[in-house]
A and B are shown apart, each in its own frame.
Chain A
Amino acid sequence: MSVDEKTVRRIAHLARIAVTDAEVPHLQGELNAILSFVEQLNEVDVEGVEPMTSVTPMVMKKRQDGVTDGGYPEKIVQNAPATEDNFFLVPKVVE
Chain B
Amino acid sequence: MTELTHLTIAEARDGLKAKTFSAVELAQAHIDAIEKARALNAYLVETPEKALSMAKASDEKIARGEGGALEGIPLGIKDLFCTEGTVTTAGSKILGNFNPAYESTVTRNLWNDGAVMLGKLNLDEFAMGSSNETSAFGPVVSPWRREGSNVSAGASGAIEGTHLVPGGSSGGSAAAVAAHLCLGATATDTGGSIRQPAAFTGTVGIKPTYGRVSRWGTVAFASSLDQAGPITRTVRDSAIMLRSMSGPDPKDTTCVDLPVPDFEAAISRGVKGLKIGIPKEYRVDGMSPEIEQLWHQGAEWLRAAGAEIVEVSLPHTKYALPAYYIVAPAEASSNLARYDGVRYGLRENGRDIVDLYEKTRAAGFGREVKRRIMIGTYVLSAGYYDAYYVRAQKLRTLIKRDFEEVYAKGVHAILTPATPSSAFGIGEKGSGDPVEMYLNDIFTVTVNMAGLPGIAVPAGLDAQGLPLGLQLIGRAFDEETLFAAGQVIEDSAGRIELPQAWWA
Contact check, B435 vs A34: say whether CB atoms are below 8 A apart: yes
Determine if A13 and B434 form an interchain contact, defined as CB atoms under 8 angstroms apart.
Answer: no
- Which secondary structure characterizes the binding site on chain A? loop
Closest to A93 in B: B353
Q: List 15 A-B pairs, Cβ < 8 Å.
A: A8-B374, A11-B381, A15-B373, A16-B337, A17-B373, A31-B374, A34-B325, A35-B375, A38-B322, A46-B391, A56-B210, A63-B250, A79-B97, A88-B342, A90-B342
CB-defined contacts of B99 to chain A, threshold 8 Å: 78-79
A44/B395 in contact, CB under 8 A: yes
Residue from B342, B362, B393, B394 within 8 A of A19 (CB atoms): B362
Q: Is the CB of A56 within 8 A of B256?
A: yes
Q: Which residues of B contact A22 (CB under 8 A)?
A: none
CA distance A34 to B327 in the complex (A): 13
Q: Are B256 and A31 touching (Cβ within 8 A)?
A: no
Return the contact of A37 from the options B250, B347, B398, B435 (Cβ within 8 A).
B435
Asked if A80 and B343 make an inter-chain contact with CB atoms under 8 angstroms apart, the answer reads: yes
Q: How far is A75 from B100 in the complex, measured between Cα atoms in Å? A: 9
Residues of B within 8 A of A1 (CB): 384, 387
Complex-state Cα separation, A92 to B353, whole angstroms: 7
Which chain A residue has the least Cβ–Cβ distance from B249? A61
Chain A interface residues toward B at CB < 8 A: 1, 3, 7-8, 11-19, 27, 30-31, 33-35, 37-42, 44, 46, 49-56, 58, 60-61, 63, 72, 75-82, 88, 90-93
Minimum CB–CB distance from A33 to chain B (whole Å) comes to: 5
Of the candidates B224, B395, B433, the one whose C-beta lies within 8 Å of that of A41 is B395
- Measured between alpha carbons, how far is A52 from B326 in the docked complex, in Å? 13
Count CB-based A-B contacts (< 8 Å).
166
Residues from chain B with Cβ under 8 Å of A38 in the complex: 322-323, 325-326, 388, 392
Cβ-defined contact, B358 with A91, below 8 A: no
**Given A34-B434, A61-B257, A88-B343: A41 and B396 interface contact (C-beta under 8 Å):** no
Min Cβ gap A76→B in Å is: 8
B366-408 residues at the A interface, CB under 8 angstroms: 370-371, 373-378, 381, 384, 387-388, 390-398, 400
Contact with A along B309-338 (1 / 0, CB 8 A): 000000010110011011000000100010
Separation of A8 and B371 alpha carbons in the complex (Å): 11
Q: In the complex, what residues of B have CB within 8 A of residue A80's CB? A: 342-344
